[in-house]
Amino acid sequence: MILVTGGAGFIGANFVLDWLAQSDETVINLDKLTYAGNLENLATLTGVAQHIFVQGDIGDSALVAALLAKHQPRAVINFAAESHVDRSIHGPEDFIQTNVVGTFRFLEAVRAYWNGLAAEAKAGFRLLHVSTDEVYGSLAKEDAAFSETHQYEPNSPYSASKAASDHLVRAWHHTYGLPVLTTNCSNNYGPFHFPEKLIPLMIVNALAGKPLPVYGDGQQIRDWLYVKDHCSAIRRVLEAGVLGETYNVGGWNEKPNLDIVHTVCRLLDELQPRADGKPYQEQITYVTDRPGHDRRYAIDASKIERELGWKPAETFETGIRKTVQWYLQHQDWVSHVQSGAYRDWVEKNYDGRAA
Q: From the candidates 82, 86, 133, 229, give the one annotated as an active-site residue.
A: 133
Q: How many domains does the chain have?
A: 1
Coil/strand/helix, residue 129? strand
Please write the tens of the pLDDT for every residue from 291-348: 767 889 999 999 999 999 999 999 999 999 999 999 999 998 988 887 645 445 445 5
Q: From the candidates 86, 134, 223, 229, give the one annotated as an active-site residue.
A: 134
Q: From the candidates 31, 57, 136, 158, give the one annotated as an active-site residue.
A: 158
User: Is 134 designated active site?
Assistant: yes
| Structural domain contains residue 353 | no
| Structural domain contains residue 184 | yes
Identify the burial level of 149 via C-beta atoms within 10 angstroms of its C-beta, where 0-12 means exposed, 13-18 middle and 19 or more buried.
exposed
pLDDT (0 to 100) of residue 11: 96
Please write the tens of the pLDDT for every residue from 186-206: 999 999 998 878 999 999 999
Please, which residues bridge with residue 286 across strands?
214
| Structural domain contains residue 266 | no
Mean pLDDT check: name the lowest of 62-76, 264-278, 291-305, 332-346: 332-346
CA–CA dist 283, 280 (Å, integer): 6
pLDDT (0 to 100) of residue 343: 45
User: Is 270 designated active site?
Assistant: no
Show Cβ contacts of residue 203 under 8 Å, excluding neighbours closer than 6 positions.
Answer: 195, 264, 268, 323, 324, 327
User: Is 314 designated active site?
Assistant: no
Could you tell me the pTM of the whole model? 0.92
CATH code at position 56: 3.40.50.720
What's the domain range around 140?
Answer: 2-192+226-251+296-314
Q: What is the mean pLDDT of residues 131-143?
A: 93
